[in-house]
């Protein structure tokens, strides 16, 4: 785990293995960003010229290494691009700072200590730099043997944030928040990256119980016997083909002064083969990530506890493994859900909505002020929005807009999507109350309409389809690693904060 410190030392005097500074584009000119004045002085005012000679442009995502000259305690300077320089009097945007810090932290894997001298004009800037650095420093190495302290796969060990004020309450709070949010996002990433032979539904539930003891959370686990007794036909139906039985986990954080309760429901398919409707080769290799929604929900509840938010946050993790076998649910089977509704299963690879339906019904029984479900639900959403943007649907337009704006604020790409009533008819079944499939076109919206059927009357609800951004298969960028990303954790934490403040 990467350590975070706020330092009052100057950039030229702090001992570190690397010194990170920002550069930006001002027209066609490369400029050194605030925070790096002492570093530029050590280069005799020619830092920008040296970097330009090496091809630096100041573009976002760009990083250039330069040996440090005499006058600096660090042996290496890393210049990261911040994009276009802001107008006079304006500050650099939070997301530009997060991405720049993340880019540098990734580049410095295997390093013991890096000092970050990026533009910090206010506590919010310090929080953005800290968050980006801690997210960028992430590395999943649990299954890699033979590493030593200099192994480039290991995360940056310590981030020293310069320009912050360690005795200032606002700066200290911003750093503590950044550390909690980043570490919980990384917790979600670890779970997503864990191989499915180790992260079974029971193992996931055990991880929640362990964290619950550490952070004072109330955890309840329903095993297969309890699920059968309670009539959770959706979760049981999806898990019927696996030797690893399903679980429904309730993990709750409460605050004595809370006036509102936010319920979060996460899809937790620890491996999705598609079941009898088997996925073809090329579509199942990354399906360990189909529990990303449950990981995000779990991480958010822990983050709320660590931050002491004055709001009750209850997480529901619908955990199952979707496998083909002689006992698996078949296309054409009818499941009786926890709500009492019957569902004709036309495609066993549309399983996420089945486990979520039971969890949404159960969550509704507690009459929360709002329910938000998170799921890697449909390939259709990826086709619509691409690999970096999640879709937002809701039964309340204002709530959908609020979540979209929150996601934009924290740097997560999202887009509001509709729930067209005309698509509901496609899920009519001649056998059951509803089918788990409808029209192919608009499949992501159809899935949202299915979930809406299981929301309690009068409860505000939103659905986040994170199928695109949950698992990144390309090259790392900014603070986003290859593999599990922890998508939606930062949005959900901010939603909880604003719910506590009465602003949502």
How far, CA to CA in Å, does 35 sit from each of 10, 38, 161, 169?
9, 8, 11, 21
Q: Is 353 a catalytic residue?
A: yes
Contacts of 81 (CB under 8 A, 6+ apart): 22, 23, 24, 25, 56, 57, 58, 59, 60, 61, 62, 63, 100, 103
Q: Tell me the sheet residues that pair with 161.
A: 6, 116
Q: Using an 8 Å Cβ cutoff, are 351 and 391 in contact?
A: no
- Taking alpha carbons only, the member of 380, 367, 499 closest to residue 437 is 380
In this structure, the number of other CB atoms found within 10 A of the CB of residue 419 comes to 17
Q: Smallest Cα–Cα separation from 293: which of 442, 437, 470, 116?
A: 470
Q: Annotated catalytic residue: which of 154, 288, 353, 490?
A: 353
Burial of 397 (0-12, 13-18, 19+ CB in 10 A): exposed
What whole-number distance in Å separates Cα of residue 36 and Cα of residue 22? 7
Q: If DSSP codes are grouped into helix, strand and coil, which group holds residue 134?
A: helix
Q: Which of 279, 336, 341, 482 is catalytic?
A: 279
Cα 442 to Cα 45, 274, 333: the distances in Å are 57, 20, 24
Beta strands in 347-449 (DSSP E): 370-375, 390-394, 414-416, 434-435
Which sign, positive or negative, has the C-alpha torsion 455, 425, 274, 470?
A: negative
Clarify whether 167 is annotated catalytic: no
SS3 category, 449: helix
- Would strands 471-472 and 113-117 be described as parallel, antiparallel, or unpaired? unpaired
DSSP 480: B
Which residues are catalytically annotated?
Answer: 279, 353
């Amino acid at each position: 785990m990467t350590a975070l410190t706020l330092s009052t030392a100057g950039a030229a005097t702090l001992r570190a293995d690397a010194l990170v500074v920002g550069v930006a584009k001002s027209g066609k000119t490369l400029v050194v960003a605030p925070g790096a004045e002492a570093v530029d002085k050590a280069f005799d005012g020619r830092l920008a010229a040296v970097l330009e000679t090496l091809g630096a442009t100041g573009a976002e995502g760009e990083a250039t290494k330069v040996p440090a000259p005499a006058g600096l305690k660090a042996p290496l300077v890393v210049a990261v691009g911040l994009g276009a320089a802001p107008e006079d009097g304006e500050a650099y945007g939070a997301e530009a700072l997060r991405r720049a810090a993340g880019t540098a932290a990734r580049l410095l894997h295997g390093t013991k200590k890096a000092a970050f001298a990026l533009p910090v004009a206010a506590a919010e800037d310090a929080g953005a730099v800290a968050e980006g650095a801690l997210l960028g420093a992430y590395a999943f190495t649990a299954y890699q043997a033979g590493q030593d302290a200099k192994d480039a796969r290991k995360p940056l060990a310590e981030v020293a944030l310069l320009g912050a004020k360690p005795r200032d309450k606002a700066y200290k709070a911003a750093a503590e928040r950044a550390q909690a949010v980043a570490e919980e996002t990384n917790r979600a990433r670890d779970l997503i990256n864990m191989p499915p032979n180790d992260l079974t539904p029971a193992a996931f539930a055990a991880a929640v119980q362990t964290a619950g003891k550490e952070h004072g959370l109330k955890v309840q686990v329903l095993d297969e016997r309890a699920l059968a007794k309670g009539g959770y036909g959706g979760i049981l139906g999806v898990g019927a083909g696996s030797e690893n039985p399903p679980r429904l986990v309730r993990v709750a954080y409460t605050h004595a002064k809370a006036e509102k309760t936010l319920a979060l429901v996460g899809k937790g398919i620890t491996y999705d083969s598609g079941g009898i409707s088997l996925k073809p080769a090329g579509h199942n290799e990354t399906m360990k990530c189909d529990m990303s929604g449950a990981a995000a929900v779990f991480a958010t509840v822990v983050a709320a506890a660590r931050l002491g938010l004055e709001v009750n946050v209850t997480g529901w993790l619908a955990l199952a493994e979707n496998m083909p076998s002689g006992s698996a649910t078949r296309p054409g089977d009818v499941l009786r859900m926890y709500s009492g509704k019957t569902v004709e299963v036309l495609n066993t690879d549309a399983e996420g909505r089945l486990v979520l339906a039971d969890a949404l019904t159960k969550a509704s029984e507690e009459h929360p002020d709002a329910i938000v479900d998170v799921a890697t639900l449909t390939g259709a959403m990826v086709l619509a929005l691409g690999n970096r943007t999640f879709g937002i649907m809701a039964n309340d337009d204002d709530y959908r807009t609020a979540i979209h704006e929150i996601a934009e604020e924290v740097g997560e790409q999202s887009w509001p999507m509709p729930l067209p009533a005309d698509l509901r008819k496609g899920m009519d079944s001649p056998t059951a109350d509803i089918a788990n499939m409808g029209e192919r076109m608009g499949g992501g919206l159809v899935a949202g309409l299915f979930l809406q059927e299981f929301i309690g009357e009068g409860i505000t609800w939103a659905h986040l389809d994170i199928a695109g951004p949950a698992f990144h298969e390309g090259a790392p960028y900014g603070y986003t690693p290859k593999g599990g990303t922890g998508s939606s954790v930062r949005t959900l934490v901010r939603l909880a904060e604003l719910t506590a403040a009465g602003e949502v």
